[in-house]
Amino acid sequence: MFVLLAVVFAVSFVFFGVGSGSTGISSALSNFFNFGGSSGPSVSNLEKKVAKNPKNAADWRALATAYETKHDTQGAITALQHYTQLKPKDQSGLQELATEYTSLADTYNTQAQSAEIAQETANLSPTFLPASNTSLGKAFTSTTGPLSDPISNANANTANQTTQTAVQQLTSIESQAEDTFKQLAALSPSDASVQIQLGQAAEAANDTASAIAAYKKFLKLAPTDPLAPQVKSVLKQLEPAKK
């Protein structure tokens, strides 16, 4: 399971935090996760407004900002989904939605890893059981082999279910993030920063073909950007995997 999760996020560190380039890509990426302020309208008041008038895009955007201020990622996603449905060509709204998807994916990734550790810990390993030829060991052994610990089994089953749920949620969110970046790319096909973000989102969603296409378009749009060497290196790894 760790391998799967590692693959999902393995490449993200390659691009973030690198200096600014001629296309402004690094600057865009460095600000990628910074949304929401320290104050804003009441969430409850805005919820009432959108319930009364669900076609008011401005109120949905304001509600998203209010949720972000309170670090309520899921709430912000829901509000931004409504907003972008009403304003499908608003690139800033789509970018913000993609950012929130990425933030939630990080949360699910952490949950899955924690659940995996809990699952391994919950299993009672035979290594730690007393020798089967001792009186105590016989108490832990049946005619068919070592007895299972019902408490450990229950804990392991719970942890396994938690892991599966987190991975499913992670997969879904990464797919939604990729779809959002595809919308952005369609609206702004000459924006190199969108292409590199689409490449990352597609790679995280295990959509290798789309990742390769986005990275190649990035290199075509910004061949001299400081990130170009890293992108070329990633392409060398992805292209054989596609075959």
Task: 89-95: list long-range contacts, CB under 8 Å, 24+ apart.
Answer: 89/187, 91/184, 91/187, 91/188, 93/61, 94/180, 94/183, 94/184, 94/187, 95/184
**Residue 87: pLDDT over 80:** yes
> Is the pLDDT higher at 176 or at 111?
176
pLDDT in tens, 22-51: 344 444 444 444 444 445 568 999 999 999
The per-residue pLDDT for 151 is: 59
Rounded Cα distance between 55 and 63, Å, is: 13
Quick one: pLDDT band at residue 112, thresholds 50, 70, 90? confident
Question: HSE of 205 in the Cβ direction (CA atoms, 13 Å)?
Answer: 24
47-56, 112-121, 163-172, 203-212: least confidently modelled range: 112-121
Question: HSE of 39 in the Cβ direction (CA atoms, 13 Å)?
Answer: 0
DSSP state of 146: E
Quick one: pLDDT band at residue 241, thresholds 50, 70, 90? low
DSSP state of 38: S
The per-residue pLDDT for 145 is: 52
Global model pTM greater than 0.85:
no
Q: Give which of 10, 62, 55 is closest to 36, Cα–Cα.
A: 62
The per-residue pLDDT for 21 is: 39
> Is the pLDDT higher at 29 or at 90?
90
The per-residue pLDDT for 100 is: 95
Q: What's the token pair of residue 202?
A: 């597609």
Please name the residues in contact with 107: beta carbons below 8 A apart, sequence gap of 6 or more.
Answer: 73
Rounded Cα distance between 147 and 171, Å, is: 36
